[in-house]
Amino acid sequence: MQDEPIIAFDESGNTGPDLLDKEQPVFVLASVKLTTKQANELKSIFKTNSSELKFNRLKKYFKYHEQIIEFLNHDIISKETVALALFHKEYCICVHTIDRLVETLAYRDGLDLYENGQNLAFTNLLYYCTPVLCDKAIYEEYKKDFITLFQKRDNQSIDKFYSTVEALINSSKNKQYASILYPILASREVIEDIIDEWDSNNFDSTLSGFVNLIDYWGRKTENKFHAYVDDSKPLKHFKHLIDKVKDKYIKQQELGTDRRTLQLPLKLIDVNFVNSKDNVVVQIADLIAGAANYYYRAIANEKFKDELSEKIGKTKFIKLLHSPVWPHPEMTPEGLNTV
């Protein structure tokens, strides 16, 4: 039988709805497209008796560190075989604030916040300027209350959140910036409609990352394909939504704006949940996800920086990101690459 490449996924740093977990500030979903032969060649780099490779085990032993670096720099590792979805969790709170609250209000009023990346500019402004121009303690409370709002979705959490928003605005050192935050407060007019659309898994980035990576691989092939995933509770939870966007009866279309588009229906046949012990390609996805999380966790918080994270940062594989959700101080369409 011909050794056809398969596309496999694994994740690292998933804390579900807890976007403020100080020990896991980053979430990574890794995807690889490899033949079994390629995967075994990569696996052979590691001189271990273990039948299953796990990054979290290998990183603990100094003797495997150079093998990890050799693995990440291997010729097989390239944009043709690896793609990473990366999420900075605290930044995601700002993303969700704009996408869920401000954009909904703008759409109601006939405004397209996605045009030329205005939503991204607003997100970056919120992330970088709020802790500087507003009271830091109130901003920390704001982030917690925002998460609680979408977790509990009741009158008490609504009242608490908007009370904190008002306090945040009043704490601003700059009147012009305070006015920029008013749309968040004004979203109370439509909040009941907004929160009805979400469930308790609504802050889990697994679905978003998975769909974007499936789209990435779909653009690189004419044929439909299966996705092989280690037993993943989030993906099982979202399976019914994944099925909807791969439905063959969906009209062929490209959704989104600028460079941020999605081709539907996805070229996905189905998601196959497997035991990683029995699938060497999934094991390689685990190594990629773990290494990426180890590096970007140290970028998100310097307290996690060590010799291994710095060595990983010098490998070629960190250039294999696909549409990372990560803070960047750009505010213009040109800087955001949305024109």
E runs forming strands in the chain: 6-12, 26-34, 82-88, 225-230, 253-257, 260-264, 268-274
The pLDDT of residue 338: 46
- Angle between helix 89-96 and 118-133 (nearest 10): 110
Helix, strand and coil content of the chain, in percent to the nearest 5, comes to: 55, 15, 30
What tens digit of pLDDT does each residue of 256-290 get? 666 567 787 889 999 999 999 999 999 999 999 99
pTM: 0.93
Look at residue 220 and give its three-state secondary structure: coil
Measure the CA–CA gap between 56 and 309, rounded to whole angstroms.
13
Whether omega for the bond prior to residue 327 falls within 30 degrees of 0, making it cis, is no
The pLDDT of residue 27: 97
Look at residue 263 and give its three-state secondary structure: strand
Q: Which residues contact 53 (CB under 8 A, 6 or more apart)?
A: 43, 46, 283, 284, 286, 287
Structural contact between residues 300 and 189, judged by C-beta atoms closer than 8 angstroms: no
The pLDDT of residue 10: 96
The pLDDT of residue 263: 82
Q: Which amino acid is at 175?
A: K
pLDDT by residue for the chain (339 residues), tens digit each?
A: 467 999 999 999 999 889 999 999 999 999 999 999 999 999 999 999 888 999 999 999 999 999 999 999 999 999 999 999 999 999 999 999 999 999 999 988 898 888 878 889 999 999 999 999 999 999 999 999 999 999 999 999 999 999 999 999 999 999 999 999 999 999 999 999 898 887 767 788 999 999 999 999 999 998 899 999 988 778 888 888 888 887 666 777 777 666 567 787 889 999 999 999 999 999 999 999 999 999 999 999 999 999 999 999 999 988 899 989 999 887 655 554 544
Q: Which residues contact 217 (CB under 8 A, 6 or more apart)?
A: 7, 31, 33, 83, 225, 267
Closest CA to 30 of 71, 62, 91, 90: 71
Measure the CA–CA gap between 287 and 50, rounded to whole angstroms.
14
User: CA angle 198-202-190, nearest 5°?
Assistant: 40
The pLDDT of residue 255: 73
Q: Which amino acid is at 322?
A: H
Distances in Å between the Cα of 120 and the Cα atoms of 87, 106, 127 are: 14, 14, 11
Structural contact between residues 188 and 145, judged by C-beta atoms closer than 8 angstroms: no
The pLDDT of residue 339: 45
Size (the chain), residues: 339
Which long-range contacts (C-beta less than 8 Å, at least 24 apart) are formed by 185-192? Answer: 186/105, 187/101, 187/102, 187/104, 187/105, 188/158, 188/162, 189/105, 190/104, 190/105, 190/108, 191/101, 191/149, 191/158, 191/162
Closest CA to 67 of 321, 315, 320: 315
Residue 20 structure tokens: 């403020």
